[in-house]
A and B are shown apart, each in its own frame.
Chain A
Amino acid sequence: MMPKSEVRAPAATPTRTSRRAVLTALGATALAAPFVTISGRARGADKVVAVNFGGAMGEAKRKAIYDPFTRDTGIEVVAVPGPDLAKIRAQVQSGDVEWDVVDLLDGWVPAGIRMGLLERIDDKIVDRTGCIPGARSDYAVGGSIYAGGIAYPTDRMAKTPKNWPDFWNVAAFAGRRGLRNRINDTLEIALMGDGVAAKDVYPCDVERAFKALDRIKPAVNHWIAQTAQTVSLIQSNETDFTYTYTTRVKDMQAANVQIGYSFEQNIMGVGWAGVVKGTPRKEAAMRLCSYIAKPELQVHLTDLAGDAPVYPNMLAKVDPAVRKWLPDVGDPNNLFVNAAWWDTRVEELTRRFQEWLLT
């Protein structure tokens, strides 16, 4: 390929070599990069990655759970936002597990067990004596209990509904309603609005629920996409009665917004934590789970964040100012979300609900 001319050769050779050298160097870098990152991951046995939903609860967990853990064991807790069941599945399937302890929504626990994404909780390390049965799973640890119910403005409506039959009674309790734009919780709410007692909600009579939803549909002016809107829409006078969570209303009242909450017929759920299957830091993860399950630490978390501990005998130790925001777990009119019932039905019911919303 080189010109035969001897005069030109010395000038041509350095250019060709240097260009080739650059490309070779780039290729070598590209090959070396994976080895650089792999050796980085092999280190870090003295840390554990905890994934939570962030926000005020995430900060509360840092203070109440992660810091005591690091103090006692010396293992650093790296908090990462954005728990996502799909991401857990992708990590487990590819064999490249980066997350150790992940906060899980109620519906993710049966799904995670079914797909083989969670490690069995080691009862020798994690002590859960005294926790309510609904917050104990073989593959996840109950970290807190949250509650959802009716929120209403306190400054502009004469009559506000405090339970679901009242919410459904548009004639007596005039006002615009806001429900979530998903079928989870909405199905249970519809049954309670139709007069079903909390203990009879599961297994859900889906036809009855959809008939009840048909009746309330004209009065619902918002099918709310994000939780933050469930209180902000009341505040900005876009709607009147919504389904929201205790902590949202508590924070709004702390900011002097005129909003109230009803503790009647609440839907409660558990804030779970699970260990991702195949994590290289399994023992450290189990130890962190044991701290998540510690009653005294859960009480401290409650004081900071406002969700209840899973140990009913610890309620007396909670700060009185926060205790009035905790749901009554023993109240027969409150119900716990039945994640097992939903696990096999969520896809079909979601499609049916979306179709119902469009008509």
Chain B
Amino acid sequence: MAQRSALERRQALHIALYAAPATLLMLGVFVAPMGIVIGQSLTSEHAATFSFNAFTRIASDPLFLRIGVTTLEITLLATGFALLLAYPLAFYLAQQPPRRRALLMVLVLVPFWTSVLVKSFAFTVILGHSGFVNTALAWLGLPTIKLLFNRVGVVIGMSHYLVPFMVFPILSNLVAQPRELALASAILGAGQWRIFCRVTLPLSLPGVMAGVLLVMILSLGFYVVPALLGGRQDMMLANLVDFYAREAIDWPMASALSVLLMAAAAIAAVCLSFIPGGSALLGGEER
């Protein structure tokens, strides 16, 4: 129909009225501050004039590129590792009866409730030079391995925090898959492994993509965990954002670095949407 009837117009108006408070809130609390940050990245440090100065300084110092590359490396590693840990976990949880699943979810959420400094000490006890793992290795006569204060430590520490974010989207997808699909496949002669590869896994890809995007965006902004558990090569861009915002008080630079991180996250979303299952990320139809 080319024209909407009076009824449809009225319904559209009511929907708009209902959505108005939330939209205003989002505009004020989310869109406006983002706009201010983007605007701030385009001002000069000393006066309120338009200037590309911040971006020029970032482009002219190779330090930022190097740290940007490190940030991407660590983000991809942490996301991959979190996915490896979270998928089997979500799969196991999906098979549980609802009540036991809820109890086990509490265990999955426990990492959220510990402070990052306490976690760093705890990881030192387990993974450190004189920790459980290395003491056991030494007792078995094997050489000790450096599991902490390097890239390995950073990935382990970040995954510890990110696994719950990866588990939730995958779990909700797996739980929503009708049980009849697996039963039908079994009736048609498929073994467990085949059911998983040909039915469950492909159907769970939208959940996986959602989890991957969420975890990647979170990882891009990490800096405390890498600072505590990493080595000197594990510097993240967010570390510099914090330095410029709070120590150097150079807000255009901090804003410019933040804009670059936002752009990286947006590019990640677009790239993921090309992978099968990812089109839902940009609002497309699922597969």
The verdict on B130 contacting chain A, using a C-beta distance below 8 Å, is: yes
The verdict on B61 contacting chain A, using a C-beta distance below 8 Å, is: yes
Query: Which residues of B are found within 8 Å of A354, using beta-carbon distances?
Result: 63, 67, 235, 240
A89-B249, A351-B61 in contact; A19/B14 too (CB < 8 A)?
A: yes
The verdict on A277 contacting chain B, using a C-beta distance below 8 Å, is: no
Contact A85 B130, beta carbon cutoff 8 Å = no
How near does chain B come to A213, taking the closest CB pair, in angstroms? 12
A226-B117, A238-B128, A358-B66 in contact; A181/B21 too (CB < 8 A)?
A: no
A236-B125, A237-B130 in contact; A1/B249 too (CB < 8 A)?
A: no
A229-B120, A236-B124, A358-B67 in contact; A111/B249 too (CB < 8 A)?
A: yes
Contact A358 B129, beta carbon cutoff 8 Å = no
Contact B232 A86, beta carbon cutoff 8 Å = no
A222-B149, A226-B228 in contact; A26/B63 too (CB < 8 A)?
A: no
How far apart sit A111 and B247, CA to CA, in the bound complex (Å)? 10
The verdict on A316 contacting chain B, using a C-beta distance below 8 Å, is: no
How far apart sit A232 and B228, CA to CA, in the bound complex (Å)? 12
CB-contact partner of B228 in A23, A225, A236, A237, under 8 A: A225
CB-contact partner of A358 in B61, B228, B232, under 8 A: B232
Contact B128 A236, beta carbon cutoff 8 Å = yes
A115-B249, A238-B129, A350-B243 in contact; A358/B233 too (CB < 8 A)?
A: yes
Which chain B residue lies CB-closest to A232? B121
How far apart sit A315 and B248, CA to CA, in the bound complex (Å)? 35
The verdict on A6 contacting chain B, using a C-beta distance below 8 Å, is: no
Which chain A residue lies CB-closest to B251? A86
Which chain B residue lies CB-closest to A19? B14
Contact B67 A1, beta carbon cutoff 8 Å = no
How near does chain B come to A317, taking the closest CB pair, in angstroms? 36
CB-contact partner of B248 in A229, A232, A347, A358, under 8 A: A347
Q: Would you list which residues of chain B between 49 and 104 have a CB under 8 Å from chain A? A: 61-63, 66-67, 70
Which chain B residue lies CB-closest to A30? B21
Contact A358 B227, beta carbon cutoff 8 Å = no
The verdict on B198 contacting chain A, using a C-beta distance below 8 Å, is: no
Q: Would you list which residues of chain A between 90 and 128 have a CB under 8 Å from chain B? A: 107, 111, 115
Query: Which residues of A are found within 8 Å of B233, using beta-carbon distances?
Result: 357-358
Contact B235 A346, beta carbon cutoff 8 Å = no
Query: Which residues of A are found within 8 Å of B117, using beta-carbon distances?
Result: 226, 228
Contact A26 B228, beta carbon cutoff 8 Å = no
The verdict on A173 contacting chain B, using a C-beta distance below 8 Å, is: no
How near does chain A come to B17, taking the closest CB pair, in angstroms? 6
How far apart sit A181 and B227, CA to CA, in the bound complex (Å)? 9
A30-B21, A181-B227, A229-B228 in contact; A350/B248 too (CB < 8 A)?
A: yes
CB-contact partner of A355 in B63, B227, B248, under 8 A: B63
CB-contact partner of B63 in A85, A86, A223, A351, under 8 A: A351
How near does chain A come to B62, taking the closest CB pair, in angstroms? 8
How far apart sit A354 and B71, CA to CA, in the bound complex (Å)? 14
Q: Would you list which residues of chain A between 15 and 47 have a CB under 8 Å from chain B? A: 19, 23, 26-27, 30
A111-B249, A222-B149, A358-B67 in contact; A181/B232 too (CB < 8 A)?
A: yes
The verdict on A84 contacting chain B, using a C-beta distance below 8 Å, is: yes
Mask for A343-357, Cβ within 8 A of B = 1, else 0?
000110011001101
Q: Would you list which residues of chain B between 1 and 47 have a CB under 8 Å from chain A? A: 6, 10, 14, 17-18, 20-21, 24
Sample of 12 more A-B contacts, CB < 8 Å, known A225-B228, A358-B232:
A19-B14, A23-B18, A85-B249, A86-B246, A225-B227, A232-B124, A351-B61, A351-B63, A354-B63, A355-B61, A358-B67, A358-B235
Which residues of chain A have a CB within 8 Å of any CB of chain B? Answer: 1, 19, 23, 26-27, 30, 84-86, 89, 107, 111, 115, 181, 221-223, 225-226, 228-229, 232-233, 236-238, 346-347, 350-351, 354-355, 357-358
